[in-house]
Amino acid sequence: MSTRESTVTSSLQRAPSRLDYEMVVGLEVHVQLLTRTKAFCRCSTEFGAPPNVQVCPVCLGLPGALPVLNEHVVDLAIRAALALDCRVHLVSVFARKNYFYPDLPKGYQISQYDRPLATAGRLTIEGDRGDAPASVGITRLHIEEDAGKSVHDRFPTLTAIDLNRAGVPLIEIVSEPDIRSSRAAGAYLRSLKQLLEFLEVSDVSMEEGSLRVDANISARRVGASQLGTKTEVKNLNSFSAVERALDAEFARQCGILDAGQRVIQQTMLWDAVTASVRPARTKEESHDYRYFPEPDLPPLVLELDRVETIRRELPELPAKRRARYRETLGLSPYDADVLTATKALGDYFEEVVRHHRDAKAAANWVMGEVRAALNASKIDIAHFPVRAADLGELLDLVRDDVLSGTAAKRVFAVMAQTGERASQIAQREALVQVRDDSALRGWIDEVVAEHPKEIARYAGGEQKLLGVLVGFVMKKSSGRADPKRVNQLLVERLGA
């Protein structure tokens, strides 16, 4: 090999690649709390109102208007902090975060800075696809108000401002930089969303802006302990967008480091159309916001009894519910995961079990027919016409051989349309299972007469045709015949 070839080969072997770098991610999640009124005034938080109608002197920052803290905001924030295993501080301080955007009428945002409501928490993400459970640290959880909204697509050359969101209560949940892949970031966000939904502290709707994510990401050499220079990626409107944006920004940073250049700390915007990130502005530091204590609000002082009461009232959280489904109800890990996808679905399933007792049968119907009907009708379980008690009655009818499985599905389809009880539909539609031997033998006689070729083949040793013949009898009876008894009578008849 020539000296030049050796030099080129050595250079190629030393060339860094994305495999030489490690992704380091921390996430900032803003969650709108489930209150009827704003954080510091009595304006409504209802989504979808006409622009600029849910405003008052307080959320507009007019002279002389003073904020008053919404007590329910504090309780919901404590609830979330405790569920995330945070330390809730009995004294926290509101601060003014100063910056100037068109949709921030006061010129500052009321937030918390050096003395937040809660710190040092943790969220455990259960393993996916064989991965072991992972734990992500929570740096802080604090209360703040939202800004308004800039609308860029209403007029061709103008930006419109809607201040209905100004003052809407938020909690910001800041993670430690413990996340090492885009997939892990998605898993963390899905776990956090599910937890907050179970707690009923937010409707966590990304479509309505109730949950928003900013992702901080840096790249460093594999094995390095020092963090690299981070950038913050914004404009992320779905969890899949977070994952795609992190991969794109990681690739960009790796390219910069490969070229021997320095990553600049800045805010990046994700463009879903081009699947790329672009710089928006230099990333602000804390000192850029000129934080100082909010002079119009005293420190937030909590009583320990209040915090402990909220702790005792926490609902069963997703991980514990999944474990109970596996250990107490005997469900598979897959079934337990599906049935705890939302609190409402799990509550519905448990109500069915209370009425029917057979957890596996209830799980199969809820995961199958119920979810299919919900997807087809595009409604949530809270508005589903089939009440859990009525589904339990339907399953009782199947267990007691009053309805066949086929007939039960026909009854369920009507229930999903009308909300009627299963027994009423079964009687009206003449779907009650027939177990009278004389009626069953009549249908069997007709099938034997109509299918001589199949009968001859069965007699010749094709035992699998028995199932076909049972199917013919079921069809002739419109699904009302008891299939178990039909099978027995057919064997007797054909054996004779």
Residue 15 has pLDDT above 70, yes or no: no
Q: What is the pLDDT of residues 70-127, one digit of tens each?
A: 999 999 999 999 999 999 999 999 999 998 878 888 889 999 999 999 999 999 987 5
Range ranked top by mean pLDDT from 271-275, 345-349, 461-465, 479-483: 345-349
The pLDDT confidence band at residue 287, using thresholds 50, 70 and 90, is low
Residue 356 has pLDDT above 60, yes or no: yes
pLDDT at position 132 is: 61
Query: Last residue of a domain, which of 411, 428, 445?
Result: 428
CA-CA distance, 318 to 187, in Å (whole number)? Answer: 14
Whether residues 324 and 194 fall in one domain? no
The CATH number that applies at residue 491 is 1.10.10.410
Whether residues 94 and 53 fall in one domain? yes
Is 222 in a helix, a strand, or coil?
Answer: coil
Look at 88 and 235; give whichever has higher pLDDT: 88
Whether residues 88 and 220 fall in one domain? yes
Residue 174 has pLDDT above 80, yes or no: yes
CA-CA distance, 37 to 71, in Å (whole number)? Answer: 11
Quick check: is 310 in a domain? no
The pLDDT confidence band at residue 28, using thresholds 50, 70 and 90, is very high
Q: What is the pLDDT of residues 29-86, one digit of tens each?
A: 999 999 999 999 999 999 989 999 999 999 898 998 999 999 999 999 999 999 999 9
Whether residues 399 and 460 fall in one domain? no
Whether residues 255 and 320 fall in one domain? no
Quick check: is 148 in a domain? yes
Whether residues 257 and 141 fall in one domain? yes
Q: Per-residue pLDDT averaged across 166-187, rounded?
A: 93
- DSSP character string of 269-283: EEETTTTEEEEEEEP
The answer to whether residues 229 and 218 touch, using CB atoms and an 8 Å cutoff, is yes
Quick check: is 376 in a domain? yes
- DSSP character string of 333-394: HHHHHHHTSSHHHHHHHHHHHHHH--HHHHHHHIIIIIHHHHHHHT--GGG-SS-HHHHHHH
CA-CA distance, 164 to 145, in Å (whole number)? Answer: 12
Quick check: is 401 in a domain? yes
CA-CA distance, 487 to 472, in Å (whole number)? Answer: 11
Query: Last residue of a domain, which of 428, 446, 467?
Result: 428
Query: Last residue of a domain, which of 244, 272, 301?
Result: 301
Whether residues 419 and 468 fall in one domain? no
Whether residues 282 and 134 fall in one domain? yes
Angle between helices 452-459 and 437-450 (to 10 degrees): 100
Quick check: is 244 in a domain? yes
Whether residues 99 and 119 fall in one domain? yes
CA dist list (Å): 102 to 163, 285, 399: 10, 20, 64
Whether residues 20 and 64 fall in one domain? yes
Whether residues 423 and 444 fall in one domain? no
Quick check: is 233 in a domain? yes
Is 28 in a helix, a strand, or coil?
Answer: strand
Instruction: Provide the domain count of the chain.
Output: 3
pLDDT at position 5 is: 47
Quick check: is 307 in a domain? no
Quick check: is 31 in a domain? yes
Residue 284 has pLDDT above 70, yes or no: no
Q: What is the extent of the structural domain holding 490?
A: 437-495
- DSSP character string of 183-218: HHHHHHHHHHHHHHHHHTS----TTTTSEEEEEEEE
Whether residues 40 and 139 fall in one domain? yes
